[in-house]
Amino acid sequence: MNGKLGFNVRQAVWLYVVAGALILIAVVATIAWLGPLPPKVVTMSTGTAGSDFDQFGREYQAILKRAGVQLRLVPSAGSVENLARLNDPRSGVAVAFAQGGLTTEAKSPDLESLGTVFYQPFWLFVRRGISLARPEDLRGKRVAAGPDGSGTQVMAKKFLALNGIDESTLQIVPLPATEAGEALTRGEIDAAAMVASWDTPIVHRLLASPDINIVGAPRADAYVALDPYLTKLVLPTGVGDLASNRPPNDVTLVATQASLIVRKDLHPAVQYLLLEAATEIHSDAGLFRKAGEFPAPAPVDLPISKDARQFYKSGSPFLQRYLPYGLAVLASRLLLLLIPVIGVAYPLLRMAPALYGWSMRRRIFRLYGELKYIETELENARAIPAADLLTQLQRLEERANRLQLPFAFAPFLYQLRNHIALVRARIQAVASGAAAPAAQRPSAAAGTSPASPAPAQVR
């Protein structure tokens, strides 16, 4: 036997090349679907120095630092400027606070909300000795109402408009909350309006000061009915300073809710990290909030992101709950990459033996087809000389001898050679004029003896 029995290396190499190519395509497609890795530096637009946005921004910065993410804080005039930066992709700002009622989904199509995080009451403080029994009493007064770009200025102007007060009848001084409170204490202005949380230091100072009075909103229900972004709150008696009983009576306020706004392209892992920080910072009970009230999935101005909805439904992803942030991100990506690898490799590994066996048998069956053709020519037409048929058979046998097959397929090869020998015997019998009757001719393709009644069909 001149043929070499053994594993067909080229066939195996091609199989592994195809499998590797399919796995590579699946991995590349998965990586493209996953997108880039989470950024290590995220920019947040906050507010003026000493404001609640500035104070909370620093707390977020400390929490994200524990996870290895740098939160870069950029001061701003307030909510209006924060939204402008978020809407401008060139600003680099990816997250910011904003009070409700300043934008819509149509105005900010690239932004989403991670939920509301705290109340921001509208505070109106006046110097002692100034009576503001009615909003109209603000005429002719110097009123600090937040700098340009702040939510306070927008709220103050809305308050004036609802009460039919022309802005030209009073002097609006564009001061941030902290500076406005200090100017009011020094007597440089008559009143100071600010939109700020209860946690803002300047609010506590002004409430406790005997030289400053707070003006409530006795028609708060009407404001809330006219503006769906507002909420009615009550400031309890003495909460500013129990010893001096300030304020001396309950004060009704109106408030908006501040939301944590992000760009839609902010990586989901960072969104989950921000939501975990928001839960740590804002979920405790406070003066105007119950424990666990914030953060809340309330779509005030913008829709809640799908990652935030998932967070409020079931919390952070499993890996991010039990592993450090960086390790959780890496592990989740590796697991997702394994899905296409296993999905492609497992079926291929299961099918590889069958495919390889089919490939080997196909090479043998192809020769059987040619052997059947020679036998048919001998049986039917007899137009081809026996010498030519023997030549064709010799070539067929040489090809069979050159086949390289695994040892498991050796029986097929030996069987083929036996059948070639049977057909050669028949051709030689015809050539010598001593062929047996047709009913006694052997069928090589069926593996019968020369006494077989008819040639068998090769399948």
Q: Which CATH number does the domain housing residue 229 bear?
A: 3.40.190.10
Q: Say how far apart CA 16 and CA 284 lie, in whole Å.
A: 58
Q: Tell me what pLDDT residue 330 has.
A: 58
Q: List all residues 6 or more positions away from 25 whose beta carbon is below 8 Å from its beta carbon.
A: none
- Per the structure, the count of domains in the chain is 1
What are the pLDDT digits (tens) for 103-113?
999 999 999 99
In a domain, residue 175? The reply is yes
Q: Tell me what pLDDT residue 63 has.
A: 96
| φ, ψ dihedrals at 347, nearest 5° | -60, -35
What is the enclosing helix (H) or strand (E) of 287? none
pLDDT tens by residue, the chain, 459 residues: 333 333 455 555 666 676 677 667 766 665 555 566 788 899 999 999 999 999 999 999 999 999 889 999 999 999 999 999 999 999 999 999 999 999 999 999 999 999 999 999 999 999 988 888 777 888 889 999 999 999 999 999 999 888 888 888 899 999 999 999 999 999 999 999 999 999 999 999 999 999 999 999 999 999 999 998 999 999 999 999 999 999 999 999 999 999 999 999 998 889 999 999 999 999 999 999 999 999 999 989 999 999 899 999 988 876 777 677 766 665 666 666 666 667 666 676 667 677 777 777 887 888 888 888 888 887 775 567 778 888 888 888 888 888 777 777 778 888 888 888 888 888 888 777 634 444 444 444 444 333 333 333 333
Q: Are 430 and 385 in contact (CB under 8 A)?
A: no
Cut 0.85: pTM above it = no
In a domain, residue 395? The reply is no
Q: Are 325 and 132 in contact (CB under 8 A)?
A: no
CA separation (Å) from 27 to 15, 203, 228, 431?
Answer: 18, 55, 49, 64
Q: Say how far apart CA 303 and CA 305 lie, in whole Å.
A: 6
In a domain, residue 251? The reply is yes
Sign of CA dihedral 363, 367, 373, 376: negative
Q: Say how far apart CA 312 and CA 148 lie, in whole Å.
A: 35
In a domain, residue 236? The reply is yes
Q: Tell me what pLDDT residue 19 has.
A: 67
Q: Say how far apart CA 412 and CA 398 lie, in whole Å.
A: 16
In a domain, residue 255? The reply is yes
In a domain, residue 268? The reply is yes
In a domain, residue 337? The reply is no
In a domain, residue 349? The reply is no
- Per the structure, the complete domain to which residue 286 belongs is given by 41-316
